[in-house]
Amino acid sequence: MSRKRLNIHWIDEQDPPDSFPPVENALRNPDGLLAAGGDLQPERIIAAYQRGIFPWYSQGQPILWWSPDPRAVLFPQNLKVTRSLRQSVRKQGFESRINHNFAAVIEACGDPQFRRDGTWITTEMRAAYALLHQLGHAHSIETWQHGALVGGLYGVQLGKVFFGESMFSRVTDASKFALKCLCEHLISQGVVMIDCQMATSHLLSLGAQPIPRERFSVLLKNHVA
- Do 3-68 and 72-223 share a fold? no
Residue whose C-alpha is closest to residue 177's, from 197, 151, 202: 151
Does the pLDDT of residue 111 top 90, yes or no? no
Cα 21–Cα 23–Cα 27 angle in degrees, nearest 5:
95
Phi-psi region of 13 (alpha: psi -120 to 50; beta: other; left: phi over 0): alpha
Provide the CA 144 distance to its chain's centre, in angstroms.
Answer: 21
Ordered alpha helix ranges (H), the chain: 42-50, 83-92, 102-109, 123-134, 174-189, 201-205, 213-223
Q: How far, in Å, CA of 149 to CA of 100, rounded? A: 10
pLDDT, averaged across the chain: 94
Residue-level pLDDT at 114 = 59
Residue-level pLDDT at 1 = 38
Residue whose C-alpha is closest to residue 66's, from 99, 26, 39, 29: 26
Digit-coded pLDDT (tens) for 129-150: 999 999 999 999 999 999 999 9
Does the pLDDT of residue 66 top 90, yes or no? yes
Residues of the chain with pLDDT > 90, as a percent, come to 89
> Per CATH, which fold does 72-223 belong to?
Aminopeptidase (3.40.630)
Digit-coded pLDDT (tens) for 189-216: 999 999 999 999 999 999 999 999 999 9
Does the pLDDT of residue 118 top 80, yes or no? no
| Cβ within 8 Å of residue 84, ≥6 positions away | none
Residue-level pLDDT at 119 = 60
Does the pLDDT of residue 59 top 50, yes or no? yes
Q: Average of pLDDT values for 45-56? A: 98
Angstrom distances, CA of residue 200 to CA of 73, 136, 208:
11, 29, 9
Residue-level pLDDT at 3 = 45
Residue-level pLDDT at 115 = 55
Digit-coded pLDDT (tens) for 85-98: 999 889 999 999 99
Residue-level pLDDT at 5 = 46
| Cβ within 8 Å of residue 153, ≥6 positions away | 105, 109, 140, 141, 164, 165, 166, 167, 168, 175, 178, 179, 182
Q: Are 218 and 212 in contact (CB under 8 A)?
A: no
DSSP 87-123: HHHHHHT-EEEESS-HHHHHHHHT-GGG-TT-----H
Domain ranges of the chain: 3-68, 72-223
Q: Tell me which architecture the domain covering 3-68 has in CATH.
A: 2-Layer Sandwich (3.30)
Residue-level pLDDT at 7 = 79
Digit-coded pLDDT (tens) for 28-44: 999 999 999 999 999 99
Confidence of residue 117 (pLDDT cuts 50, 70, 90): low
